[in-house]
Amino acid sequence: MSKKNQKSNESTEPSAEYIVNTAVLCQHKDGLFYEGKIIDAGKTAQGEPLYTVHYQGWNSRYDEKIPQTELRTRLRDYNQENLEKAKVERNEALSRSRKRKAAGAEKGASDSRGSTPSGSDRKSQSRAASQASYDTPGPLKKILQDDSDMINRQFKLPKLPPKATAAEIINQ
């Protein structure tokens, strides 16, 4: 192994043991490393060291208990090189996520809310519906305009039930 690779591995591998209040980079369940701090050190029922990590800026419900056996893969020492690596990894993951979403949108693929139109889709559908032209008979058109005026300008509701149904007016 070259000196460069050896140095690189040394910076990413964690120290053998940690003490409380040590800053670390910890791998969360999403596979990315985030800034954290050892807030408690204890032992498992089998006597294995167990560390509680709090992710900086996160709610305490995300605190994790990490046994000694997982330290090698889950923790990195807190230093500038590891901070930069973690930031690059998070940015790459974010850009991959954005690309997937954009590709899905281009294909017309839907996420879990795919059947629900977005706000702009609803507005364009509403405009299209309001701009649609229908051949409405004169007497029905006058009644509908009067009712619309009563509702929208006068803030009153039309009298129900109506004197005549739309079907009756069209048949006249």
pTM here is 0.50
**Helix spans in 13-152 (H):** 68-74, 80-107, 119-131, 138-152
CA 39-19-26 angle, 5° bins: 60
The terminus-to-terminus CA distance of the chain in angstroms comes to 95
122-159 burial by CB neighbour count: b if 16+ within 10 A, else e?
Answer: eeeeeeeeeeeeeeeeeebeebeeeeeeeeeeeeeeee
Residue with the two structure tokens 């129900």: 160
Q: How many domains does the chain have?
A: 2
Residue 58 above 70 pLDDT?
yes
Residue 36 lies in a domain: yes
- CA-to-CA distance for 99 and 48, rounded, in angstroms? 42
19, 52, 82 - which closes a domain: 82
Residue 27 lies in a domain: yes
Residue 33 lies in a domain: yes
Q: Residue 21 sits in a domain of what CATH number?
A: 2.30.30.140
Residue 78 lies in a domain: yes
Residue 11 lies in a domain: yes
Position with higher pLDDT, 36 vs 104: 36
159 is in which domain, residue-wise?
136-172
* Residue 15 shares a structural domain with residue 77: yes
Residue 172 lies in a domain: yes
- CA-to-CA distance for 39 and 36, rounded, in angstroms? 9
Residue 23 lies in a domain: yes
SS3 35: strand
pLDDT confidence band for 68 (50 / 70 / 90): confident
pLDDT confidence band for 1 (50 / 70 / 90): very low
42, 62, 82 - which closes a domain: 82
pLDDT confidence band for 36 (50 / 70 / 90): very high
Residue 93 lies in a domain: no
